[in-house]
Amino acid sequence: MSRVYNFSAGPAVLPEEVLKEAAAEMLDYKGTGMSVMEMSHRSKAYQEIIETAEADLRELMNIPDNYKVLFLQGGASQQFAMIPMNLMKNGEADYIVTGQWAKKAWQEAQKYGKANKIASSEDKTFSYIPDCSDLPISENADYVYICENNTIYGTKYKKLPNTKGKVLVADVSSCFLSEPVDVTKYGVIYGGVQKNIGPAGVVIVIIREDLITDDVPEYTPTMLKYKTHADAASLYNTPPAYGIYICGKVFQWLKRQGGLAAMKERNEKKAKILYDYLDESRLFKGTVEKKDRSLMNVPFVTGNPEMDAKFVKEAKAAGFENLKGHRTVGGMRASIYNAMPIEGVEALVAFMKKFEEENL
């Protein structure tokens, strides 16, 4: 068996310990004589899995009691519709467009009401986070929407926008559990888990209870109402049962690592190794404003598409997978999520240094 260093933006690297545990429990989960994939989601064994997962997530993120935790399906992209359907009581919301995912969310919201783009960084290929200290927040806005970490462009909000009292909704898909967060600052925090937590197929929504109501447009499908899932503790229908089980294992792994404060420290250390090298390299350079750099997704270029392609090819041959940048940006991107060991980043930088020497 040989494992590569996987820098994929998602689905992405998972902790090896978790994969091993899951493998060991594959045929017989704790004496049930079956795998978690084969058991009823109404069984006692599964009940314990989902309840423990929720409790551990609540502990990790310090989620207050007046927030619900929902395990849903449909990807982060389905939330682009669920959020306006469920939250637009005045039929209006404000969007800050800092990348493709925020832009898609903003476009989708236009189907359900007035979605105002109140700031954007598209003028400079989304390479920065706009100043959000005094934005023209709409009086009637039901919420202000952000994508907190921009997976494709590699930027992150270091300070949350001043929403002037409006509810903040954040897509945290690619920075979920990468550092401590103050949940009380948000109305909704959500993300697809396939970036930094678990396997594709699960979306976690953390939502303040007063935002969960029956007051939604009549056409809203039952499955797209937060209330449906909140009332049934994420078991209205069959949930993505195996995926939730793996997420639960990752939560336990995170607790063993020392929780989110320890993850932040480790993530900062890892990102610094790569950014410090990018800042001194004569061949490679980072593509975003330093103050807005993501700890999770690190895009970089040589400035020469042929050299970029050569690098990606040689890196792959050396065991560094999925370094090619997003198809809309080009260049390279190293996603260094929680489960990427520090040795992976050190090895990548050593390889980049060697490549630089050989190609300058």
Ligand X SMILES: *Cc1c(COP(=O)(O)O)cnc(C)c1O
Please, which of residues 130-169 interact with ligand X by CB under 6 A?
147, 151
Residues in contact with ligand X, counted by CB under 6 A, come to a total of: 12
CA angle 190, 248, 30 (to 5 degrees): 155
Catalytic residue at 56?
no
Instruction: Look up residue 47 and give its two tokens.
Output: 């009940």
101 near ligand X, rule: CB under 6 A: yes
CB of 215 to ligand X, least distance (A): 26
Span of 71-79, 157-165, 180-188, 212-220 interacting with ligand X by CB under 6 A: 71-79
* Sole residue written with tokens 């950014």: 275
Do the beta carbons of residue 293 and residue 271 sit within 8 Å? yes
φ, ψ of residue 183 in degrees (nearest 5): -60, -30
CB of 192 to ligand X, least distance (A): 3
Smaller CB distance to ligand X: residue 86 or 155?
155
Query: Which residues pair with residue 218 across a beta bridge?
Result: none
Collapse the DSSP code of 46 into the 3-class scheme (helix H, G, I; strand E, B; otherwise coil) and give the result: helix
192 near ligand X, rule: CB under 6 A: yes
Smaller CB distance to ligand X: residue 173 or 220?
173
Residue with smallest beta-carbon separation from ligand X: 75
CA dist 244 → 8, 76, 86, 174, 202 (Å): 21, 15, 24, 17, 7
Catalytic residue at 285?
no
CB of 11 to ligand X, least distance (A): 9
Burial of 302 (0-12, 13-18, 19+ CB in 10 A): buried
Catalytic residue at 171?
yes
Among 92, 171, 179, 292, binds ligand X (CB under 6 A): 171
10 near ligand X, rule: CB under 6 A: yes
Catalytic site residue from 56, 171, 292, 308: 171
Collapse the DSSP code of 217 into the 3-class scheme (helix H, G, I; strand E, B; otherwise coil) and give the result: coil
- Residues marked active site are found at 101, 171, 195
| Site of interaction with ligand X (CB under 6 A) | 10, 75-77, 101, 147, 151, 171, 173-174, 192, 195
